Amino acid sequence: MKEKIKTILQKYNNDRGRLMDILIDLMENSGYIDDFSVSVLAEDLKISAAQVRETISFYHFFSEKPKAKFNIYLNNSITSCLRGFSSIKSTFEAESGIKFGEISSDGLIGLFETSCVGMNDQGPAAIINDKIFTNLTPYRARKLIESIKDGKTLDGLVYENYGDGNNSHPLMNSMVYNNIRKKSILLDENYERFDVIKNIIKNSSSEEVIQIIEDSNLRGRGGAGFPTGLKWKFGSRMPGEHKVIICNADEGEPGTFKDRVMLTQYNDLVFEGMVLSAFATKADMGVLYLRYEYKYMLKYLNSILDEMRENNLLGSNISGIEGFNFDIRIQLGAGAYVCGEESALIESMEGKRGEPRDKPPFPVEKGYLDLPTIVNNVETLASAVKIVKNGAKWYSSFGTKDSLGTKLLSVSGDCRFPGIYEVEWGTSIREVLEMAGADNVQAVQVGGPSGTLINVKDIDHLSKTELMKWYKPSGMMAAQKSFDRKLSYSDLPTGGSIIIFNKERDILSDVVMNFMDFFIEESCGSCSTCRNLPRIMKEKLQKIINGHGVRDDIDDLLNWGKIIKVSRCGLGQTAANPVLSSILNFRHLYEEHVMAMTDYDNQFDLGKSVSAANSFVGRKLIHKHS
């Protein structure tokens, strides 16, 4: 055992900065990280055991207790719940004879819940030992447990054909479907692989590349909307021998799955974008931070990187350009939504808890290992390649005046055609609903839980320009201003999540409660505000739903929602948005629940309190709570 741990440690040069990789390897090796491993790590990395456990206990997919042979992580995100999560969950429990959070006594099956796994268009989905099982039903859940008990292998559990495109590549063998519903300039096939590296940057300077990106007005597609050209320009001007390009593929905002599709089907475009941004900023280190939920793509993505190395598209003197040295490694996450925030992502890459950093300094000044670090979203990097290929002028013929180009939307929820839609900026929600085949719509969640819940009644009033505001998910309060800000705020990638709810859905108890649970689960816990308020607000909301709320409770929620805005990062600042946004646009639902004309808290229910005594003496309830 000790030998194995030592081998893993040596693989990463006993570097405590690579603790994430070390722990991931250990998990793979023995299914969990036991006390002995912790003590060996602590000793060799020269940190305390408590420090090792600090990182382990932060991430959802690390475990200090033995795991089962088959670990089923069932996704509990909102669309999963709309499509039968609870009946699937109870089937899993009934068939396996254990509860969620437990492992069967023979060590065969473990049941766990997990936040959005990026499969909202084909949910409910579960991850079983890194493999994705989509479109679950109680029937399929029963069959899965039966097959496991019959001694089938992981591959033997597969119940559907492998998905379209690269999903069925032998290195991927995944049941996932791309579900691309609408292609435009980013997703069209009018692109020769690696053309920009091979032919264009050879004859350009880094300044020229940055100028094209600046002229195109490309903004960060993760959601924060920071001008990409400006970020690259800052990066290129930072002094230093080493600089880092990070591609943020930690999409965790419930309802987004565009990066999944980009990495499956357009990974060459994404990697080319990383090389391009390295050329522009003179960076030499590249890292793709891949969320753990997408581990099934890892082998395949590494094969693309190998191919690029073989063809001199990575490595030294790339494409014959003297002194242009750059390579990419893939860093796996381990299950933490907050790591989508760029500075938390960097902390995680350094082997620590994914806790956002204070800014300034910004990553572009002091990022990974304190080096200048340029963090871009998957979609941004891919878009940059198309822009450099076709020119800024071409790009500016798409979209609206202040938002050029296109945006990938991840559409899910109550509609006939969930999937990826590449639309020009300026497309209205109404058009999106039409494209997706959604009717009887009550509400649309734009930008994920941290975004805005739109009441469909209001959509007619939203002009195209107004709609643009909804796409700036840094929080609805700051939405209008967000594009004017410069290097002054950071945010979580939320861009493009659209979740549709029909009129049968209970907005408060189904939707808002689910989102609040998500924020409670995914807070890093550092800020006093974000650690405590979402839970307190959820309890208040539960009180209102239970019919014990008074009108003051609604005001309390609004006021408390303001306090949380002083949190450090975008996750914290927006963690009350599900409540605030639904009060703003669905206030009548709250008012229906609160006790009419009551201003004071009347939580005491006499009837309920004396019910035990009443039943004991056989007396009927004489006082009825009004």
Count the neighbouring beta carbons within 10 Å of the beta carbon of residue 414.
25
Task: Give the CA distances from residue 624 to residues 224, 599, 604, 610, in Å, rounded to whole numbers and listed in that order.
Answer: 52, 19, 12, 11
Q: How many CA atoms lie within 13 A of 292 on its CB side?
A: 28
Q: Using CB under 8 A, pick the residue from 143, 531, 584, 591 that binds another protein.
A: 531
What residues between 317 and 336 interact with another protein by CB under 8 A? Answer: 336
- Binding flag, residue 589, another protein (CB under 8 A): no
Rounded Cα gap, residues 598 and 339, in angstroms: 43
Nearer to another protein, 149 or 531 (CB): 531
Nearer to another protein, 196 or 527 (CB): 527
- Binding flag, residue 556, another protein (CB under 8 A): yes
Rounded Cα gap, residues 433 and 574, in angstroms: 25
CB of 122 to another protein, least distance (A): 28
CB of 565 to another protein, least distance (A): 7
Nearer to another protein, 164 or 521 (CB): 521
- Binding flag, residue 58, another protein (CB under 8 A): yes
- Binding flag, residue 539, another protein (CB under 8 A): yes
Task: Give the CA distances from residue 310 to residues 6, 264, 278, 279, 305, in Å, rounded to whole numbers and listed in that order.
Answer: 31, 21, 19, 19, 9
Rounded Cα gap, residues 227 and 230, in angstroms: 5
- Binding flag, residue 525, another protein (CB under 8 A): yes
Q: Using CB under 8 A, pick the residue from 380, 494, 523, 577 that binds another protein.
A: 523
5: amino acid identity, one letter: I
CB of 350 to another protein, least distance (A): 15
What is the SS3 assignment for 211? helix
Handedness of CA 400, 404, 406, 411 (dihedral sign): negative
CB of 566 to another protein, least distance (A): 5
Tabulate helix, strand, coil % of the chain (nearest 5): 50, 15, 40
* Window of 69-77, 205-213, 276-284, 562-570 that interacts with another protein by CB under 8 A: 562-570
Nearer to another protein, 64 or 268 (CB): 64
Nearer to another protein, 43 or 466 (CB): 43
- Binding flag, residue 86, another protein (CB under 8 A): no
Nearer to another protein, 50 or 369 (CB): 50
CB of 512 to another protein, least distance (A): 18
Which residues are CB-contacts of 503 (< 8 A; sequence separation ≥ 6)? 440, 441, 442
What residues between 346 and 385 interact with another protein by CB under 8 A? Answer: 353, 358, 360
Rounded Cα gap, residues 65 and 585, in angstroms: 44
Nearer to another protein, 352 or 407 (CB): 352
- Binding flag, residue 524, another protein (CB under 8 A): yes
Rounded Cα gap, residues 222 and 447, in angstroms: 10
* Window of 43-51, 141-149, 230-238, 441-449 that interacts with another protein by CB under 8 A: 43-51
- Binding flag, residue 46, another protein (CB under 8 A): yes
The 10 Å CB-count burial string (b at 16+, else e) for 341-368 is bbbbbbbbbbbbbbbbbebeebbbbbbb
- Binding flag, residue 216, another protein (CB under 8 A): no
Q: Using CB under 8 A, pick the residue from 32, 47, 131, 168 that binds another protein.
A: 47
CB of 9 to another protein, least distance (A): 17
Nearer to another protein, 293 or 422 (CB): 293
- Binding flag, residue 551, another protein (CB under 8 A): no
- Joined together, the tokens standing for residue 474 give 């840094």
- Joined together, the tokens standing for residue 514 give 């689910």
Count of residues binding another protein (CB under 8 A)?
39
Nearer to another protein, 395 or 518 (CB): 518
CB of 540 to another protein, least distance (A): 8
Rounded Cα gap, residues 57 and 525, in angstroms: 12
Nearer to another protein, 154 or 566 (CB): 566
Rounded Cα gap, residues 374 and 385, in angstroms: 16
Which residues are CB-contacts of 329 (< 8 A; sequence separation ≥ 6)? 286, 287, 288
Rounded Cα gap, residues 446 and 411, in angstroms: 10
* Window of 90-98, 190-198, 290-298, 525-533 that interacts with another protein by CB under 8 A: 525-533
- Binding flag, residue 563, another protein (CB under 8 A): yes
Rounded Cα gap, residues 434 and 429, in angstroms: 9
- In the complex, the residues that contact another protein under the rule CB under 8 A are 46-51, 53-54, 57-58, 336, 353, 358, 360, 488, 520-529, 531-533, 535-536, 539-540, 556, 560, 563, 565-568
